[in-house]
Amino acid sequence: MALRDIDLLGHGNPGYRVSHYDLELATKPATGRLTGKARLTVVASAPDTPLVFDLGPFRVERVLVDGQPVRWTHRGGKLRIRGRFLVDTPFPVEIRYAGRPAPVRTRHWGEVGWDELTDGVIVASQPVGAPSWFPCNDLVGAKATFRIEVTVPTAYTVVANGVLAARLVRGSTTTWTYLADEPMAPYLATVQIGLYERSLLSSGQILAVSRGLSRAAQHDFARQPKMMRVFTDLFGPYPFAEYAVVVTDDELEVPVEAQALSIFGANHVDGRRGHERLVAHELAHQWFGNSVGLADWQHIWLNEGFAAYAEWLWSERSGGQPAEALAARSRSLLATKPQNLRIGEPSARDMFDDRLYQRGALTLHTLRTLLGDDVFFPLLREWTAIHQYDTVVTSDFVSLAERHAGRSLTAFFYLWLYQPALP
């Protein structure tokens, strides 16, 4: 059975949509406690269907709809609000809550969401970790704008999605306010808290890193501005106002993607650009996965295949190995692996399998070889332009590719996406 977004731990709720999240949070890394006030702008599709939000095991203190107290229950990760609601007209829902956030435990992907560092906080929510720190409709295709305000002890720096709109120091605490005006899926919302120093790699490109890693990080990310220019040429204009990179003092298994922001571990910085392909991968996600989002998780190859292929394109454009050589190496490696994955309809267990990444990249390289660069790259630029800030499915890409090719590509995509054997 094909993977559906609603299958992921039962997250996501029909009957309404959220157009804006306004989050006011306060936390102290020393205690781990979080207090929150979430004001959601909601549009209901039926007057008497309960509003059901995904929210972790916090203590809910107050719920208001249009400024008035309402009946609610909170159990099993679901906050249910009952009442009579306006239909097709936005109204505010305010939820006040508190507790010690913890990541969401999953069967296949480990722990995701709000987590503690040695001295700070990391939020890595893909795919179902958003309810670990705020009430939401946790669907990959449920995009909304965000305002994220976080109050922390003054020694700490906060980095979140969007543009830093305000930084207010009040003695021992500082309040950081970020605005993300481009719509964003809940899993891409993030807060990073640490003893970081903010600096500019170039205009609109921010680096937040601790003093001890600053020199190595400045070297390792020094070519990111050039990377941004290359990807802008290949994929179209960068879709957000800024791009931030956070390097934690802790080691991370893999870098973490968020909208307009990426997080790397101390182990991804070596002062020799030894992990530069990962820099390319996370930056490419800003086009593929963040701006152009998914309607449901079944189509995740559109995120990870494109980001993996961007690694090869950066290598080719920066004087490294050409994409053809990297594709040949990837194909040889995939040929030794089990041939039991359909990347166009993966199971939940296989969503983040490296074979999906590699075969997705190989699919794109083979399509490029079939169409030629004069057709392939205009196809990518139109893809990011017409679906900017929207959500897509695989058939959308197939249709656009066929229009650029001027012929049917059904057999090609069937073999590469839906047949387990490597073509």
Q: Where are the domains of the chain?
A: 10-113+122-190, 196-286, 293-418
Q: Does domain 293-418 have CATH number 1.10.390.10?
A: yes
Question: CATH assignment of 196-286, given 3.30.2010.30, 3.30.1330.10, 3.30.710.10, 3.90.190.20?
Answer: 3.30.2010.30
pLDDT, tens only, 69-122:
999 999 999 999 999 999 999 999 999 999 999 999 998 999 999 999 999 999
Q: Is the dihedral of CA 153, 269, 264, 229 positive or negative?
A: positive
Q: What are the structure tokens assigned to 273, written together?
A: 């650009």
Query: CB–CB of 280/376 below 8 Å?
Result: no
CA distance 38 to 134: 7
pLDDT, tens only, 287-340:
999 999 999 999 999 999 999 999 999 999 999 999 999 999 999 999 999 999
Q: What are the structure tokens assigned to 383, written together?
A: 């893809």
Amino acid found at 269? V
Residue identified by tokens 């996965």 is 289
Domains 10-113+122-190 and 293-418 belong to one CATH topology: no
- pTM over 0.95, yes/no: yes
Q: Kindly list the distances between the CA atom of residue 332 and the CA atoms of 323, 355, 358, 423, in Å, as whole numbers in the listed order.
A: 14, 12, 11, 12
**Nearest Cα to 206, choosing from 277, 154, 250, 263?**
263
**Nearest Cα to 12, choosing from 47, 54, 51?**
54
79: left (phi > 0), else alpha (psi -120 to 50), else beta? beta
Q: Does domain 10-113+122-190 have CATH number 1.10.1050.10?
A: no
H or E, element range at 124 = strand 120-124
> Which segments of 248-370 are extended strands (E)?
256-258, 261-264, 293-294
pLDDT, tens only, 223-259:
999 999 999 999 999 999 999 999 999 999 999 999 9
Residue identified by tokens 């922001």 is 261
Q: Kindly list the distances between the CA atom of residue 181 and the CA atoms of 22, 225, 274, in Å, as whole numbers in the listed order.
A: 12, 23, 34
In b/e form, how buried is each residue of 61-74, taking b as 16+ CB within 10 angstroms? eebebeeeeeebeb
Percentage of the chain modeled with pLDDT above 90? 96
**Nearest Cα to 201, choosing from 232, 234, 227, 238?**
227
Residues comprising the chain, all counted? 423
> For residue 14, what pLDDT is reported?
85
Q: What are the structure tokens assigned to 365, written together?
A: 């390289």
Query: CB–CB of 97/86 below 8 Å?
Result: no
Q: What are the structure tokens assigned to 297, written together?
A: 């998780």
Residue identified by tokens 């899993």 is 187
Percentage of the chain modeled with pLDDT above 70? 98
**Cα-trace Rg, the chain:** 22
CA distance 214 to 279: 16
Is the pLDDT at 7 greater than 60? The verdict is no
**Mean per-residue pLDDT, 383-401:** 98
| Residue 44 burial class via C-beta count within 10 angstroms: exposed 0-12, middle 13-18, buried 19 and up | buried
Query: CB–CB of 116/93 below 8 Å?
Result: no
**Nearest Cα to 120, choosing from 178, 175, 169, 192?**
192
- Confidence band, pLDDT 50/70/90 cuts, at residue 4: low
**Nearest Cα to 241, choosing from 191, 283, 293, 205?**
205
> For residue 176, what pLDDT is reported?
98
Query: CB–CB of 306/330 below 8 Å?
Result: no
